[in-house]
Structure 1
Amino acid sequence: MFSKKRVAAVAAVATSAALVLAGCGGSSAPQGEPSFDPDEKVTLDLAFWGNDVRADLYNQAIDAFNEEYPNITVNATFLTFPEFWEKRQTEAAGGGLPDVMQFDYSYLRQYSENGLLLDLEPYLGSIIQTDGLSDQILGIGVVDDTTYGITTSTNAWGLFTNPALLETAGVSEFEGGSWEDYNDWIAEVTEASGGAFWGGSDYTGRIQNFELQLRSEGKNLFNEDGTPGFDEERLTEFWESGADARDGQVVPQQVVEELNPLTAFDSAKGASELTWDNFGAGYLANLGEGYTELGLIAPPVTKEGAKDLYLKPSMLHTISAKTEHPEAAATLVDFLVNSPEAGKIFGTNRGLPASETALEAADLDTMSQQVKDYEESIADRLGDAPPVPIVGYGTLEEKFRVLGTELNFGTTTVDDAVSQFFSEMDVVLNQ
Structure 2
Amino acid sequence: MFNKLSRRAGSGVALTMAAALMLTACGGNGGGEAGGTPDPNEEVTLNFTWWGNEDRAERYNEAIALFEEQNPNIDVNGTFMDFPAYWEKRQTEAAGGGLPDVMQFDYSYLRQYGQNGLLMDLTEYVGNGLTTDTIEETLLATGKLEDQTLAVPTGYNAWSLFENPALIEQAGVEGYEGGTSWEDYEAYMANVSEAGDEIWGGTDYTGRIQNFELQLRQEGRELFTEDGQLNFTQEELAEFWASASDLRESDAVIPGRKLEEVAPKSGFGANLTASEMTWSNFMGGYLGDTGAEDLTILAPPTSDPSVKDLYQKPSMLHAVGAQTEHPEAAVALVDFLINSPEVGEIFGASLGVPASETALEGAALEGPELEVKEYLDSVSDRIGEPPAAPIVGYGALENTFLTLGTSIGLDAITPEEAAQQFFDEAAVTLGS
Listed one character per residue, the Cα deviations across residues 113-149 of structure 1 (whole Å, up to 9, x for unaligned) are 2211001111122211112100122111112332111
Q: Which amino acid aligns with 2:263?
A: N
Distance 2:195 2:53 in 1: 43
User: Whole-Å Cα distance in 1 between the matches of residues 35 and 269 of structure 2?
Assistant: 50
Aligned ranges 1:231-246 → 2 under 5 Å: 231-246=233-248
How far apart are 1:259 and its partner, in Å?
Answer: 1.4
Partner of 2:5: none
1:99 to 98, 101, 105: 101
The 3 A distance-change label for structure 1 pair 28 and 319 is: closer
2:290 maps to which of 258, 267, 287: 287
Equivalent of 2:83 in 81, 101, 105: 81
Q: Which residue of 1 aligns with 2:417?
A: 416
How far residue 173 of structure 1 moved from its aligned partner, in angstroms, is 1.5
Q: Name the counterpart of 1:18.
A: 16
1:128 is matched with: 130
Shift of 1:314: 1.6
Match of 2:342 in 1: 341
Q: Which residue, out of 244, 257, 262, partners 1:259?
A: 262
Structure 1 residue matching 2:365: 3-state secondary structure: coil
| 1:67 Cα deviation after fit | 2.8
48-57 or 86-95, which moves further after superposition? 48-57
State which drifts further: 154-163 or 404-413: 404-413
Per the TM alignment, residue 365 of structure 1 is displaced from its structure 2 partner at its CA by 4.2
Identity fraction in percent: 52
Distance in 2 between the 1:325 and 1:224 partners?
35
The residue matched to 1:386 in structure 2 has which SS?
Answer: coil
Name whichever of 32-41 and 100-109 sits farther off.
Answer: 32-41
Mapped pair 1:272 → 2:289: no
SS at match of 1:265: coil
After the TM superposition, which residues 390-405 of structure 1 pair with which residues of structure 2 at under 5 Å, given as runs?
A: 390-405=391-406
**Secondary structure of the corresponding residue to residue 46 of structure 1:** strand
Counterpart pick for 1:188 among 170, 191, 200: 191
Q: Which ranges of structure 1 fall in alignment gaps of 5 or more residues? A: 1-11
1:153 equivalenced with 2:155 (yes/no): yes
Question: Offset of 1:305 from its aligned partner?
Answer: 1.1
Confirm whether residue 217 of structure 1 aligns to residue 219 of structure 2. yes
**What is the CA–CA distance in structure 2 between the aligned matches of 1:13 and 1:75, rounded to whole Å?**
26
1:255 Cα deviation (Å)?
0.9
Q: Distance in 1 between matches of 2:425 and 2:11?
A: 19
Confirm or deny: 8 A CA contact 1:223 1:387 kept in the other structure: no
Q: Residues 306, 14 of structure 1: CA spacing in aligned structure 2 closer, same or farther, 3 A cutoff?
A: farther
Amino acid at match of 2:420: S
Residue 253 of structure 1 deviates from its aligned partner by 0.7
- Alpha-carbon displacement from aligned partner over 1:93-120 (angstroms, at most 9, x marks no partner): 2211111111122221111122110011
Contact 2:228 2:391 in 1 (8 A): yes
Q: CA RMSD in A?
A: 2.0
- Secondary structure (helix, strand or coil) at the match of 2:65 reads helix
Which whole-Å CA distance do the structure 2 matches of 1:220 and 1:357 have between them?
Answer: 32
Please name the residue that 2:428 is paired with. 427
Any idea what SS the aligned residue of 2:46 has? strand
1:154-182 CA-partner distances (Å, limit 9, x unpaired): 11110001111111222111113111111
Amino acid at match of 2:309: D
1:198 Cα deviation from its structure 2 partner? 0.8
Q: Secondary structure at the match of 1:245?
A: helix
> Which stretch has the larger CA shift, 182-191 or 347-356?
347-356
Indicate how the Cα distance of structure 1 residues 32 and 279 shifts in structure 2: closer, same or farther if over 3 A, else same. closer
Aligned partners of 1:234, 1:16: CA distance in 2, in Å?
24
Change (3 A) 1:54 1:411: closer
SS in 2 for 1:273: strand
CA contact (8 A) 2:29 2:327 kept: no
Secondary structure of residue in 2 paired with 1:140: helix
1:207-243 residue CA offsets vs partner (Å, 9 max, x unmatched):
1000001111221112342111111232233222211
Corresponding letter in the other structure for 1:112: G
* Residue-by-residue CA offset, 1:400-420 (whole Å, 9 max, x unaligned): 112212222223222222112
Cα deviation for residue 63 of structure 1 reads: 2.0
Q: Taking structure 1 as reference, are residues 409 and 90 closer, same or farther at Cα in structure 2, changes over 3 Å only?
A: closer
Going from structure 1 to structure 2, the CA distance change for 1:16 and 1:145 (only over 3 Å counts) comes to farther
Superposition pairs of residues 299-338 of structure 1, within 5 angstroms? 299-338=300-339
1:317 aligns to what SS in structure 2?
strand
Supply the distance in 1 between the matched residues of 2:40 and 2:372 (Cα, whole angstroms): 38
- What stretches of structure 1 move > 4 A for 4+ residues in a row? 28-33
SS in 2 for 1:370: helix
Once residues 356 and 14 of structure 2 are traced to their aligned partners in structure 1, the CA distance between those partners, rounded to angstroms, is 26
Structure 2 residue runs without a partner (length 5+): 1-9
Partner of 1:203: 205
Matched positions, count = 417
* Kept in 2: contact 1:15–1:106 (CA 8 A): no
Which amino acid letter does the alignment assign opposite residue 180 of structure 1? E
**1:167-210: per-residue Cα shift (whole Å, max 9, x none)?**
122211111311111111111111121x4211110001111000
Q: Which residue of 1 aligns with 2:388?
A: 387
Aligned letter for 1:292?
E
Q: Distance in 2 between matches of 1:328 and 1:31?
A: 11
Report the alpha carbon displacement of residue 302 of structure 1 after superposing the two structures with TM. Answer: 2.0
2:141 to 120, 139, 142: 139
Shift of 1:31: 8.5
How far does the alpha carbon of each residue in 1:282-314 deviate from its partner, in whole angstroms, 9 at most, with x for none?
Answer: 2122222xx311111000012221111111122
- Give the aligned residue type for 1:394: G
Write the distance in 2 (CA, Å) between the matches of 1:267 and 1:82.
24
Task: Report the more deviating stretch, 217-226 or 114-123.
Answer: 217-226
Letter matched to residue 244 of structure 2: G
